[in-house]
Structure 1
Amino acid sequence: MRRLLRYPFGLTAAFLVASLVLLAVIGPPLFGDRAAAIHPDRINQGADGAHWSGTDALGRDLLARTLVATRLTLGLAFLATLIGTCGGVLLGALPSLLPRRAGRLVVAAVDLLVAFPALLLAMFTAVVTGLGARGAVLGIGVALAPTFARLTHTLTASVAEADYIAAARMLQVPRHRVLTRHVLPNIAEPLILNTAQAMGSALLGLSAMSFLGMGVQAPSYDWGRLLNEAFGHVYVTPAVVVAPALAVALAGLGFMLLGDAFAKAASGGAEPVGKPVAPVVTPARDAPDPHAVLEVRDLTVAFPGGVTPVRGVSLTVRSGDIVGLVGESGSGKSMTAAAIGRLVPYPGLAAAARTALCGTDLDACTPAERRALLGSSLAMVFQDPTACLNPALRVGGQLAEVAALHDGASRAEARTRAVERLGQVRIKEPAQVVRQYPHELSGGMRQRAVIAMGLMGTPRLIIADEPTTALDVTVQREVLRVLRDVVDDSGAGALFISHDIAVVSELCDRVAVMYAGRVVEELPAGALRRARHPYTRALIGSLPDMETDRSLPLTTIPGRQPSPADVGDGCPFADRCASAGERCTSLPPLVARGAGHQVACWEA
């Protein structure tokens, strides 16, 4: 609810809907007498000081009648929405309860009803069930049901393969119980969010039915009925349609906006508090390191609300080296990689004293120059290869696009290079793989295809963001070997991001350990057993080996890492550190503690 009220349209919609509900409660008692009072001497008058929206054929005040009609209009719309929602959910859930063939028939019927125009379906139902408020409510409810049925069926299918559903079926839980206890509670949120928009649709539909004479009948009246009665005089006294027309428009808009705002607020899509402000960093004045393919100094990433997931990170990656970036989830590793590749999501902003790629300062480049440099010299390999490959396109076409876009290669040249790169990452029969779709490849092959995509240019830097997390141990080793071979053969540098310090110690030449957005220790991979920072030692100590006493519990790090919004002024690891002292209330700098070894700890 707090996110909803922060969203401007959400606040407006909530105010409109609350005002309508309040008016529905107090309208008839306050304005009922005025709305019913007949004045033969004021028949069909236009707007004046006594009647702001004019009068009807009996001299009754149209503004008062519009206010009184709010209760009936909203009440009927609520009943129609209730019928449509309940009926649609039941209809959409039927395929999961019925045998397969019967379920397909239900799905086909729903598809047919969805294709049928909703208003025509409502009118047909109203004619069959009888004209009047009851027929209109049933008609609109029936017209809303197919949409909810389609949504329910789609959501049900999306969770049908979940592990908890499979476990319930294995335990022979009845179908109706699986539906009510395991499926519907997990799809309830989007159904509820769509109800607000359905309320707006029901209100507009009912008003249309009444306007056409198929809804509310005299002497009762809703907004549509008022429009129907006033329409004959609209060319003489246009003001007579203003009040009911404005009420229909505002109410429909309010419920539609409320549904949209609820959906955005529930998904975290509400606008953040405050405006994005770029971090203040003093630019570096000395020349970039000519031997480094990547040089980052004092990289900081900030989001509105004081959230700073990356704080003054400095890294150097040289040609032929693999630098490991390790730390717990939430330590800022992936955000550091995103900032280097200029992929920080909005509304985050990144700033650094220097971000140099192949000796070129990215901040000094024009957008076109930066895009060309990043596109040709930087390759990024993400954790989930399925999300990196378009499932609708063949693998070869996606790889060839890189060469065609950045190098101007022809289609034949790009395809030939794609085959070569797939062979370079040890994919068997690459000429056949280029003609396949991503879903036809195994997880390890997809990950190697993504690495091959990065090699389609001439990358000098490869950023691999946890590329082996979703793979089994055997495939992990193959992918790591491919990455090592690619670096050795091409002379590129690599930044390898992982939470597994064992993998990092085996693959990398140097290791940078991150905690709460900062690099707290940097050292050669071979010197990890001589680490000096308490956090690094705790990470290493939590790894079991062949000499670990299996009769004892596994070693863990007590406490938890602070969130990016809760990092204080002192050492962020102090609350979890057994060696913390008085000086840990101030932030320790990253200082040298030997050749190629830097530590940010007062006690190290």
Structure 2
Amino acid sequence: MMAGTGRKLTAIARSPLGATAVTLIVVVALTAILAPIIWGPQAEQVDPTAITQGPSAAHLLGTDTLGRDVLARVLVATRLSVVLAVLAVIIGVVAGTLLGTAPSVLPRWAGRPIVGFVNIAVAFPGLLLALFFAVIFGVGATGAVLAIGFAMAPQFARLTQTLSAGIAGRDFISAAQVAGVSRFRILIRHILPNIGEPLIVNATVAAGSALLAFAGLSFLGLGVQVPEYDWGRLLGEGLNRIYLNPAAAIGPAIAVVIAGLAFNLLGETAAAALGGRSARKRFRLPAIALAAPRVDAAPAPIVDDVVLRVDDLRVSFPSPSGWVTPVRGVSFTVSRGEAIGVVGESGSGKSLTALAAARLIEHPGHTDAARLEFCGAPLLTTPERTLRPLLGTSLAMVFQDPMTSFNPTRRIGSQLAEAASEHQDITRKQAMDRAIERLQSVRVPAASRRAHQYPHEFSGGMRQRAMIAMGLMNHPRLIIADEPTTALDVTVQRQVLQLLAGVRRDTDAAILLISHDIAVVAQTCDRVLVMYAGRIVEDLPAATLHTAARHPYTRALLEVVPELDADRREPLKVIPGRPPAPGAFPAGCAFAARCPLATDLCRETDPELVADAEGHRVACWHPVSGEAPVPVAIATVADETAAEEEETVLR
């Protein structure tokens, strides 16, 4: 990777853009460093006999009103002009980053006014803000630095907010939240490293704008004051006598253009170089002893065998037409060591139910329930500070896409170790030892070496194993696996499922497995929850799924599973129709439009989830007996395609 990035940087440096940027920035830097030493005395030497002279062999740009060499003064002014511009950019980046990231750290009531202030400030032109702040901070170099710095802050705040919002939705942020990492630590360790590169690129480009702004303020007399001078002040002095010596004004103007062009081209070159992830220097790390003593945190107490209790859970989101409730009245319990599978079509509310149990439904989403408890603690009323250690040590979450589940800027081992060091009084070495031990427990080969690699160096299956290892860093009572095998091939899927089963057997942890594949759930779980349109329509033991399923939707899901001995000349079976949209649930049973057993009662009244003597729950007015044939009409893929084409034509 180092060699590849090195070749890329070399190629960019050899390109016309890169070569020009490097040349100009080196010239500006050397001038800023050496000019005061070489031409400093000449720039300050007063010569009454050479006042206001034009260009000559002795003075290439002429002299000023005191007989001082204009070219020497332009060269010497490079240091002050560049330093002040860089200081202003640093102030703007720091202030903008603080404003942009404050809403993600502060409470909502304190963060919303900051967002509003940034939105208003961005609407004003930067130069207008600079003039406004210059009046507040006063005339002089210090006031000009502060004025330009704070005038640039709103644009960096908006950029930081935009970039942070894109990162905050990634799975590795949710994984850190589940691990109980504080919001400030998430900001420092997970968000800022992932937005640092575009901030640096924009800061480099902004340095050129800062040079122009400084020249403008000094030209107006609000910037650098006598006896100091920068390019803007020299430009103002030259324009006062432009008819006598135009070269005195052209010199500092050319200097501003060249320096501004150098910074802008440097920003373009940096953007090209950082188009891919920057190379990271690798060090050969010593082998870590695997026999380190285990430092385990005390497991969270559980009042009874129930790990997760959900009663009448509802998850809602605002929309232009009002609140939409995609999860409506879900109730179930998960006991110690139990494996429960949740199946259903996309949009049935499976993942939202799991996210609500993990307290990952963010504003403006709203979670409500008659009872939502984890390890005996009410999730909706307990303060976040109190819940964070409980969720971080007793709840593990395995997300659907292992590539987005890890922070790409940090090594796998450090991300695993963070889950333990955040809640336990252990050293970094002990946390890393445990990370390697957990990687070994999920059968990651060469764990001590793999722990010091980045996520992109892992295959999809290895990343999913590492994600499970992260959940095992403490003592999980519940592992929520949200489609953990979707992005994996069949062989790796089986390995991951076997690994989850082994973890459950060894740790007595409960598992909530979310999947589209009802066959996988039937083979790996004790109980199956079938969800449709935001509700549980059937809850039954997995062992009797194929023989005792009573809801027509469950029977239809079983019927459309392809079999190995099926005739390949026949088209695959599918359930006709589509699930209703979350904002358009019908008054009665949501499955009535797709069910051939539906009656007027089904279309008018939604059935309750009723349990029989054996605990088998089903929500259906006309449940099917276990011995009866499947009464659900099954359409073929060809039928579904034709229906979709017809619907498209009608639209």
Could you state the TM-score of these two structures normalised by the residue count of structure 2?
Answer: 0.50
What is the CA–CA distance in structure 2 between the aligned matches of 1:596 and 1:446, rounded to whole Å? 38
Aligned to 1:581: 599
Letter in 1 for 2:316: A
Name the SS of the counterpart of 1:559 in structure 2.
Answer: coil
What is the CA–CA distance in structure 2 between the aligned matches of 1:377 and 1:359, rounded to whole Å? 12
* 2:397 is the counterpart of 1:377: no
Aligned to 2:610: 591
Q: Deviations over 1:227-259 (max 9, x none)?
A: x9xxx9xxxxxxxxxxxxxxxxxxxxxxxxxxx
Query: 1:149-298 maps to which residues of 2 (within 5 A)?
Result: 290-298=304-312
Judge conservation of contact 1:384–1:467 (CA < 8 Å) in 2: yes
* 2:554 is the counterpart of 1:536: yes
Judge conservation of contact 1:289–1:295 (CA < 8 Å) in 2: no
Aligned to 2:626: none
What is the CA–CA distance in structure 1 between the aligned matches of 2:331 and 2:502, rounded to whole Å? 26
Q: CA deviation at 1:289?
A: 7.6
Q: CA deviation at 1:370?
A: 1.1
Judge conservation of contact 1:523–1:597 (CA < 8 Å) in 2: yes
Indicate which of 366, 369, 373 corresponds to 1:352: 369
Q: CA deviation at 1:110?
A: 8.9
Letter in 1 for 2:622: E
Indicate which of 346, 368, 392 corresponds to 1:329: 346
Indicate which of 105, 127, 141 corresponds to 2:15: 105
Aligned to 2:500: 483
Q: CA deviation at 1:594?
A: 4.8
Letter in 1 for 2:467: V
Aligned length: 349
What is the CA–CA distance in structure 2 between the aligned matches of 1:346 and 1:517, rounded to whole Å? 20
Name the SS of the counterpart of 2:316 in structure 1.
Answer: strand
Aligned to 1:440: 457
Q: Kindly tell me: are residues 583 and 439 of structure 1, through their superposed partners in 2, closer, same or farther at Cα, counting changes over 3 Å? A: same
Q: CA deviation at 1:362?
A: 2.3
Q: Kindly tell me: are residues 394 and 548 of structure 1, through their superposed partners in 2, closer, same or farther at Cα, counting changes over 3 Å? A: same
Judge conservation of contact 2:359–2:379 (CA < 8 Å) in 1: no
Q: Kindly tell me: are residues 527 and 111 of structure 1, through their superposed partners in 2, closer, same or farther at Cα, counting changes over 3 Å? A: farther
Q: Deviations over 1:40-87 (max 9, x none)?
A: xxxxxxxxxxxxxxxxxxxxxxxxxxxxxxxxxxxxxxxxxxxxxxxx
What is the CA–CA distance in structure 1 between the aligned matches of 2:533 and 2:369, rounded to whole Å? 18
Q: Kindly tell me: are residues 560 and 104 of structure 1, through their superposed partners in 2, closer, same or farther at Cα, counting changes over 3 Å? A: farther
Name the SS of the counterpart of 1:304 in structure 2.
Answer: strand
Q: Kindly tell me: are residues 407 and 106 of structure 1, through their superposed partners in 2, closer, same or farther at Cα, counting changes over 3 Å? A: same
Q: CA deviation at 1:361?
A: 2.2
Q: CA deviation at 1:106?
A: 5.6
What is the CA–CA distance in structure 2 between the aligned matches of 1:391 and 1:114, rounded to whole Å? 34
Q: CA deviation at 1:103?
A: 12
Aligned to 1:556: 574
Aligned to 1:401: 418
What is the CA–CA distance in structure 1 between the aligned matches of 2:357 and 2:23, rounded to whole Å? 51
Aligned to 2:467: 450
What is the CA–CA distance in structure 1 between the aligned matches of 2:499 and 2:17, rounded to whole Å? 47
Q: CA deviation at 1:290?
A: 1.8
Indicate which of 296, 317, 321 corresponds to 1:303: 317
CA RMSD between the two structures: 3.2
* 2:520 is the counterpart of 1:506: no
Name the SS of the counterpart of 1:385 in structure 2.
Answer: coil
Aligned to 2:335: 318
Q: Kindly tell me: are residues 364 and 544 of structure 1, through their superposed partners in 2, closer, same or farther at Cα, counting changes over 3 Å? A: same
Gaps spanning 5+ residues in structure 2: where?
Answer: 1-9, 27-208, 220-235, 241-301, 624-651
Name the SS of the counterpart of 2:373 in structure 1.
Answer: strand
Aligned to 1:546: 564
Name the SS of the counterpart of 1:565 in structure 2.
Answer: helix
* 2:429 is the counterpart of 1:412: yes
Q: CA deviation at 1:492?
A: 0.7
Gaps spanning 5+ residues in structure 1: where?
Answer: 1-99, 117-201, 213-227, 233-287
Q: CA deviation at 1:340?
A: 0.6
Q: CA deviation at 1:109?
A: 6.6
What is the CA–CA distance in structure 2 between the aligned matches of 1:542 and 1:564, rounded to whole Å? 24
Name the SS of the counterpart of 1:314 in structure 2.
Answer: strand
Aligned to 1:341: 358
Aligned to 2:149: none
Name the SS of the counterpart of 1:448 in structure 2.
Answer: helix
* 2:502 is the counterpart of 1:518: no
Aligned to 2:277: none
Could you state the TM-score of these two structures normalised by the residue count of structure 1?
Answer: 0.54
Letter in 1 for 2:451: V
Indicate which of 389, 408, 428 corresponds to 1:391: 408
* 2:595 is the counterpart of 1:601: no
What is the CA–CA distance in structure 1 between the aligned matches of 2:20 and 2:379, rounded to whole Å? 55
Q: Kindly tell me: are residues 113 and 587 of structure 1, through their superposed partners in 2, closer, same or farther at Cα, counting changes over 3 Å? A: farther
Q: CA deviation at 1:389?
A: 1.0
Judge conservation of contact 2:13–2:22 (CA < 8 Å) in 1: no
Q: CA deviation at 1:359?
A: 2.2
Name the SS of the counterpart of 1:299 in structure 2.
Answer: strand
Letter in 2 for 1:472: D
Moved over 6 A (4+): 100-104, 109-116
Q: Kindly tell me: are residues 560 and 354 of structure 1, through their superposed partners in 2, closer, same or farther at Cα, counting changes over 3 Å? A: same
Q: CA deviation at 1:482?
A: 0.6
Q: CA deviation at 1:545?
A: 1.1
Percent of residue pairs identical: 54
Letter in 2 for 1:345: E
Letter in 2 for 1:602: W
